[in-house]
Amino acid sequence: MKKGDHIRVKNGTNDPDFKGKDLSGYTGYIESISSDDYVEILWDKSILETFDAKFMKKCDRNNLDYTRIFLTIDEIEVIDDEPK
C-alpha cells in the first residue's frame, strides 16, 4: 500500500469515532501511512455525498474532519480501478 492507492473498507469495519456506524464498502484514497500501521484515508466524492447535515454537524462539534478518517491497514484493501 502506498499514498494515492484507491481503497475500500473491509466488511465489518466500524467507525472508530461513532459506535455502530458501519463503514463496510466505503471507498477513498490513501493520503498517508504512519509507522504504526494507521492509514489516513480521504473519502471519495461519492461517499462524501452520502453524509447528511446531521452527521457533518456532529463531526464539527467533535472537532472531526468528515472528509477523512484514520483506519488500520488491516481494515482496508486496495482496489483496482481498471475496468474488468
Residue 74 vs residues 1, 13, 83: alpha-carbon distances, Å: 11, 10, 25
**Burial grade of 76 (CB within 10 A; 0-12, 13-18, 19 or more):** buried
Given this model, what pLDDT does residue 39 score? 96
- Per-domain boundaries in the chain: 6-78
Instruction: Write down the pTM of the prediction.
Output: 0.86
DSSP 61: H
> In this predicted structure, what is the pLDDT of residue 84?
43
| Sequence-ordered list of residues with C-beta below 8 angstroms from that of 53, at least 6 positions apart, any chain | none
Sheet-wide strand order for 68-72: 68-72, 38-43, 27-33, 6-9, 76-78
Residue-level pLDDT at 80: 80
Whether residue 57 has pLDDT greater than 80? yes
Taking residues 53-73, report their average pLDDT.
Answer: 94
